[in-house]
Amino acid sequence: MVIGNIKTLFTTAILSSGLLFSPSGTNLFAAGLLDSLTKLAPIEITAVTAPSAPVSALIPFKSAPALKAYFVSVGQGDCEYIELPNGKNVLIDGGPNPTAPLVQFLSQRNITKIDYVVLTHPHLDHYSGLEYVFSHLQVGNFYDTREDNTGASGIKALRAKITAIGVNVVYPAAGDNLDWDPGEVQVKVLNSCSTPGESNSGTVLNNCSIVLKVSYHNTSILYTGDIESDMETTLVSAYGSQLQADVLKIGHHGSNTASSAAFLNTVKPKTAYIEVGAGNIFAFPAQTTLSNLQAVGATVYRSDLSGTQEYTISGD
């Protein structure tokens, strides 16, 4: 071993109680130290040099977990699923079918528990698939709007079931920050009808949609439910540049009642997902919506053409 200008020979003694180092030439037997000696071997260590790279560079780097967002193809309806970096998960809406294809999506991934379920608003094409979730999966928390859909027996039955099984129900308000992954993921509520109400107006119910902005590592996703252009205008006035997001879940399935040029110019999405059924009777997405998205340079994915899509935000 070279320490400064001193070279020393060592003999390594491996004892049953551990390792013993002694300068070469020491009489270990005479010293009475080798009663339990199992092996003795001379080793000459000629040099110890500093590593050529910083110590930090030699430590394996472990990437932070990613956030994975899925835009689930459920036909003419909405359904989104999120895997958070902390291992918890989120389901936003459940689509129009109580048995499929959400069931298939969950089964393929062996998902038996949902930590956070969000119903953006009480329209059948958003809540019907949740009937399966609350009947067959363990659910930690349910986020709901207080606006009720007059005469819609399905949502009344679903909400009654959720209460009966004891799931924690949360009514978020605009401005709330949700602690789904504290310190890592920011989840901000931008819109919600948090005071009790009831309506059979499609526009009123759509504009009560819970709107969420999910941000992780300087990348964000804006989930808009079915908000229409008048609510988009309200959000632009309230939040301005805070609406900017890398990814936009297009409101109201690409209808011409949403995705106004002013809203898209404020959000400035790089990627947009339209959840729409193939050959739907509404002829969604509207050409106006597609043109507005093209004008802001967004890459567009449609569930009727491409099926379920995944968007990953790296933890690096």
pLDDT tens for the chain, 316 residues long, are 444 443 433 333 333 344 444 444 444 434 444 444 444 444 444 454 555 555 455 555 677 899 999 999 999 999 999 999 999 999 999 999 998 899 999 999 999 999 999 999 999 999 999 999 999 999 999 999 999 999 899 999 999 999 999 999 999 999 999 999 998 999 999 999 999 999 999 999 999 999 999 999 999 999 999 999 999 999 999 999 999 999 999 999 999 999 999 999 999 999 999 999 999 999 999 999 999 999 999 999 999 999 999 999 998 8
Instruction: Say which residues have a Cβ less than 8 Å from residue 134's Cβ, sequence separation at least 6.
Output: 117, 158, 161, 162, 165, 167
Q: CA-to-CA distance for 230 and 228, rounded, in angstroms?
A: 6
Residues 91 and 234 in one domain: yes
What CATH number corresponds to the domain at position 288?
Answer: 3.60.15.10
Q: Give domain status of residue 61, yes or no.
A: no
The answer as to whether 138 is a domain residue is yes
27 shares its domain with 144: no
Cα 94 to Cα 120: distance, rounded to the nearest angstrom? 10
Residue 185 lies in a domain: yes
Same domain, 102 and 30: no
* Same domain as 196, residue 108: yes
Q: Residue 59 falls within a domain, yes or no? A: no
223 and 96 share one domain = yes
Range of the domain at 15: 2-50
Q: What span, in angstroms and rounded, lies between the C-alpha atoms of 249 and 78?
A: 10
Lookup: tokens for 159: 């909400």
17 and 103 housed in the same domain: no
- Residue 185 Cα to chain centre, angstroms: 8
In a shared domain, residues 118 and 255 = yes
Same domain, 76 and 194: yes
Number of domains in the chain: 2
Do 143 and 7 fall within a single domain? no
pTM of the model as a whole: 0.81
Pair 71, 45 in one domain: no
